[in-house]
């Protein structure tokens, strides 16, 4: 993590589809840059002009990530809610902001730092009841200390829906995207199409702990690494992964390649329009 005052702009540009760890890193980053400071806010593109005018001149009290949702809490019970979606992107830096080029939805600056946001799915102000409603729509987030995994299992254990689809449903578990879900199911030796109701309580307990472990590591490293030491290139002599995503993974986006554990070809399938990847041998169920 970059220390306060020494800012590398564009440090998150390697992210592909932001999963929860990216949003938690952004929340920490934004608090480092702006918490306790009065901010000036505008919307060069104009689509957030009214909200920007209400925020401008207020002090950022703190930030928070919940799943893939980023919240900035400002003095006066004003909360800025951002969901990046597929195309949203933040940039930040020290000193004065650069001239706004293109579609800058939100621009925020203090005496020391600036931040700009382009292309989000959501950028809006929420009242406290609206923040509560947002929390109520989301399942437990493995990266939050207040997460209650029993809430998720109450949904999973009653459902005939494939486990992969349940874990991607943000109202069941918040913050998990395709990489975490695919990889956690591999590590648990569970077939992605296993009906939720067939997952045992012990199986869920292990899966939750593994999600917490993988996601916490991703927050620390800024990338998703899921491969155990015994299966890393250093241990087995195989070539390291080459992928825009960056981290070492077992099956995500490796269709046709040999499984790092058993050598079987990794399979790809689709589920509700999303790609799924799994090893038919290790995850035979």
Q: How far is the CB of 258 from Zn ion (least distance, A)?
A: 8
Stretch that binds Zn ion, among 81-89, 175-183, 240-248, 272-280 (CB under 5 A): 272-280
**59 strand-pairing partners:** 38
Distance from the first to the final alpha carbon of the chain = 39
Reduced to 3 states, what is the DSSP secondary structure of residue 227?
coil
CB nearer Zn ion, residue 72 or residue 187? 187
Using rule CB under 5 A, residue 279 touches Zn ion: yes
Q: How far is the CB of 227 from Zn ion (least distance, A)?
A: 12
For the annotated catalytic residues, the residue numbers are 18-19, 68, 274
Q: How far is the CB of 284 from Zn ion (least distance, A)?
A: 9
CB nearer Zn ion, residue 211 or residue 261? 261
Using rule CB under 5 A, residue 281 touches Zn ion: yes
| Phi then psi dihedrals of residue 2, to 5 deg | -75, 140
Using rule CB under 5 A, residue 284 touches Zn ion: no
* Interaction mask 229-268, Zn ion, x per CB under 5 A: ------------------------------x-xx-x----
Q: How far is the CB of 261 from Zn ion (least distance, A)?
A: 4
Phi-psi region at 65: left, alpha or beta (left = phi > 0; alpha = psi -120 to 50): beta
**Token digits of residue 176:** 């998990």
CB closest to Zn ion, residue no: 259
CB nearer Zn ion, residue 26 or residue 279? 279
DSSP annotation string for 159-224: --SBHHHHHH-TTTSSS--HHHHHHHHHHTT--TT-BGGGS-HHHHHHHHHHHHHHHHHHHHHSS-
Nearest Cα neighbor of 223 from 30, 11, 27 is: 11
Which residue ranges make up the site for Zn ion (CB under 5 A)? 259, 261-262, 264, 279, 281-282
């Amino acid at each position: 993590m970059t220390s306060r005052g020494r800012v590398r702009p564009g440090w998150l540009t390697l992210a592909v589809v932001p999963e929860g760890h990216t949003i938690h890193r952004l929340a920490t980053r934004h608090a480092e840059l702006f918490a306790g400071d009065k901010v000036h806010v505008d919307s060069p593109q104009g689509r957030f002009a009214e909200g920007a005018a209400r925020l401008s001149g207020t002090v950022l009290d703190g930030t928070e990530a919940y799943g893939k949702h980023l919240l900035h809490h400002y003095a006066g019970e004003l909360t800025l809610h951002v969901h990046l979606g597929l195309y949203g992107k933040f940039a930040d830096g020290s000193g004065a902001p650069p001239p706004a080029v293109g579609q800058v939805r939100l621009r925020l600056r203090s005496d020391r730092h600036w931040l700009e946001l382009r292309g989000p799915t959501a950028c809006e102000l929420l009242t406290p009841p609206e923040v509560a409603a947002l929390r109520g729509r989301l399942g437990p987030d493995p990266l939050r200390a207040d997460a209650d995994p029993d809430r998720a299992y109450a949904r999973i254990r009653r459902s005939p829906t494939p486990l992969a689809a349940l874990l991607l449903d943000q109202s069941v578990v918040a913050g998990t995207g395709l990489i975490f879900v695919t990889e956690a199911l591999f590590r648990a030796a569970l077939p992605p199409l296993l009906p939720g109701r067939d997952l045992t309580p012990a199986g869920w307990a292990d899966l939750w702990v593994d999600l917490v472990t993988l996601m916490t590591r991703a927050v620390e490293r800024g990338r998703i690494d899921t491969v155990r030491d015994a299966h890393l290139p250093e241990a087995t002599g195989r070539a390291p992964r080459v992928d825009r995503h960056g981290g070492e993974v077992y099956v995500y986006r490796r269709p046709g390649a040999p499984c790092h554990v058993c050598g079987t070809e990794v399979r790809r399938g689709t589920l509700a329009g999303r790609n799924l990847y799994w090893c038919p041998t290790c995850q035979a169920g």
